Amino acid sequence: MSNGELFLSPDTINRVFIISLYLPIALICYWRLIPDLSQSAKRLANTMLAAQALVILWSMEWEPSSNFEHWLQILTGEYNIPATLASAQLALVGCAALLTARIVKARHSYHRLYNIGIGLAFLFLALDEYHKIHERIPNWGAYYFALGVVVVLATIVLAMYSPWRASKWHICLLAGLAISGAGGIGFELMPTVCDSIGPFRLNKCLLFSTIEEALEFIGVWLALVAVLGQIPVSASASSSPVQRTIYAAPILWIFLLLLISFVPALEMRLFARQASVRFQSGVNLHGYTIVTSREVSRVRLYASAKQGNGIRLGYSVHLVDQVKGTSVARSDEWEDRRNGFWLFGPEYAPIYGQVIEVEIPPQTPVNRAYWVILSLWRKNGGDYVPRMVLASDLELLSETQVLLGELVIPAEPDNLPTIPLAEFENGFALEAVDLPERAQPGESLSISFAWRSKVQSREDHVQYLHLGYVSPPREGESVEGGAELVESDEWFVYDQQPLGPRLPARLWYSGLADSETWRVPLPADLAPGQYNVFTGIYRARDGGRVPASDAAGAPFVDARVPLGRLIVE
């Protein structure tokens, strides 16, 4: 008390709440339910309740000496001891329900189907508890609420047609679902309280996450008692394989979680582009994938960091216009070590998968080349400080930015039938050319090219424009009379990328249809007269021209596509 105010610690509130929660529930269960369990089921229920109590006590009372110990014991943490226990308990409920469906001779088939459904639901929840699958499901709360409603309604109907000795287990299951649901959904929506509760002022903010986890723990334990109560005592005698199966379930589940922790490393070797990038803060990038649509670019990183390195890190991915150098979209995500495992200690550095989805604004220009740039940052107070790149086999744009790759946002497909002027051997097609009749020396020649691609290109090509001077007819001949103009050795040559630097040919995709207007600077001393105009493309890597043919399949000489004549005045 200070200046007439009563101060209260949030830790005290959490302790009082947990004791008030566990004590009456445990007394009721040990008075009315536990005595009716088999000896093996009793031992299992006692063990799980004792494990919960120890973990909660350890989490709230033990002062950690390192970041790793803090992560290891915190109730609201991921991939640590409390998360493993919570997941194992859910898995135990699921296995017990499936075992009940297997050994109990139900009077009706829907009894068995009910237990199978409960078992599968709890196994999914067990996996979700550890790997947070719901965080990747839009509107997951609505789906989970719907699943809870289905389970509750099915349990109520089953209880109505069951004798009292059986219906009490259904009531226990409903109570467990209600309590865990209140923790998992209800308290998660509670705002953080930092000022006061009634007449008491808080000396620090009250987070409801600890209460949420305690509710989920005890709620799932009630569900476990309910499912164990449906296994006949005779079926779980000490010599029965049922007992061994139930006891082995948590151990096997933890072993499964351990195996799953190695999945990103295998996935990386099979599907990812390999990389070797070392950042400050002990983070290493080993591989990545990039998948892009019109709406989103999904970058999946495969990185590693020691489990004992618990500082707050995050990733940023930018899409940067290669021509303008501006960022058109970005996404920032906290580092998400979904595949850590506490068993191997603080020096263990598992490979984890980090997904970063960059939403592409609708107004973002299509058919442009964008860089995909990655950076790592650390939150330091109110600042987000970029981490230095210490070593990299990927190109760097700066000392903190790694170039993962490049991409193009495709335009809507244009499936209109056309007859191209030229089809090239590599799958490109020149659809149309808009060539003016006349031009002036020293000015820019405006000429438009329309292109299509039937293939996904992987290499750069350069387009050339050739203007070949033609001499006038000899004396006494006239062009109108049918005399041919003679091509001289005077040429004007101009090269650039077909669609300019905004979309290099290495990023052309199947279905591309686009055009580009060139502004060709003509020399001031370009001789007046008539010029034959040709175009074509060649490979940037070796300068080799790509063969081309007309719409009828006849090849063009020297892989040059004739476009007509231009008069330079």
Residue-by-residue pLDDT tens, the chain, 569 positions: 445 556 667 677 778 888 999 999 999 999 999 998 888 889 899 999 999 999 999 988 888 887 778 878 888 777 888 989 999 999 999 999 998 888 766 556 778 888 899 999 999 999 988 877 777 777 777 888 888 889 889 888 888 877 777 788 989 999 999 998 887 665 555 666 666 666 666 656 666 677 888 899 999 999 999 999 887 655 554 456 767 778 888 999 999 988 888 888 999 999 999 999 999 989 999 999 999 888 999 999 999 988 766 568 999 999 999 999 999 999 999 987 766 666 777 788 889 889 999 999 999 999 999 999 999 999 887 788 999 999 999 999 999 999 999 999 999 887 777 889 999 999 999 999 999 999 999 999 999 999 999 999 999 999 999 999 987 655 544 444 444 555 667 899 999 999 999 999 999 999 999 999 999 999 999 999 999 999 999 999 999 999 999 999 999 999 999 999 999 98
465 and 526 together in one domain: yes
Q: What is the CATH number of the domain that holds 391?
A: 2.60.40
352 and 457 together in one domain: no
191 and 209 together in one domain: yes
3-state secondary structure 515-550: EEEEEEECCCCCCCEEEEEEEEEEECCCCCECCEEC
36 and 184 together in one domain: yes
Is 189 within the bounds of a domain?
yes
53 and 71 together in one domain: yes
297 and 365 together in one domain: yes
DSSP state of 555: B
CA distance 306 to 341: 11
Is 70 within the bounds of a domain?
yes
Record the pTM.
0.77
The distance in angstroms from the start CA to the end CA of the chain is: 97
CA distance 25 to 86: 18
Is 44 within the bounds of a domain?
yes
Of 236, 260, 284, the position where a domain reaches its end is: 260
Which position has the token pair 């001949």? 477
Q: Within 10 Å of residue 119's Cβ, how many Cβ atoms?
A: 22
Is 2 within the bounds of a domain?
no
What tokens does 70 get? 């803090």
205 and 299 together in one domain: no
287 and 233 together in one domain: no
171 and 271 together in one domain: no
Q: Within 10 Å of residue 229's Cβ, how many Cβ atoms?
A: 24
Is 155 within the bounds of a domain?
yes
Domains held by the chain: number: 3
Of 214, 230, 260, the position where a domain reaches its end is: 260
Backbone φ, ψ for residue 528 (5° rounding): -65, 155
90 and 128 together in one domain: yes
Is 468 within the bounds of a domain?
yes
Is 276 within the bounds of a domain?
yes
CA distance 161 to 166: 10
Residues forming beta bridges with residue 513, ordered by sequence position: 452
Structural domain boundaries, residue 175: 8-260
551 and 442 together in one domain: yes
522 and 547 together in one domain: yes
CA distance 493 to 498: 15
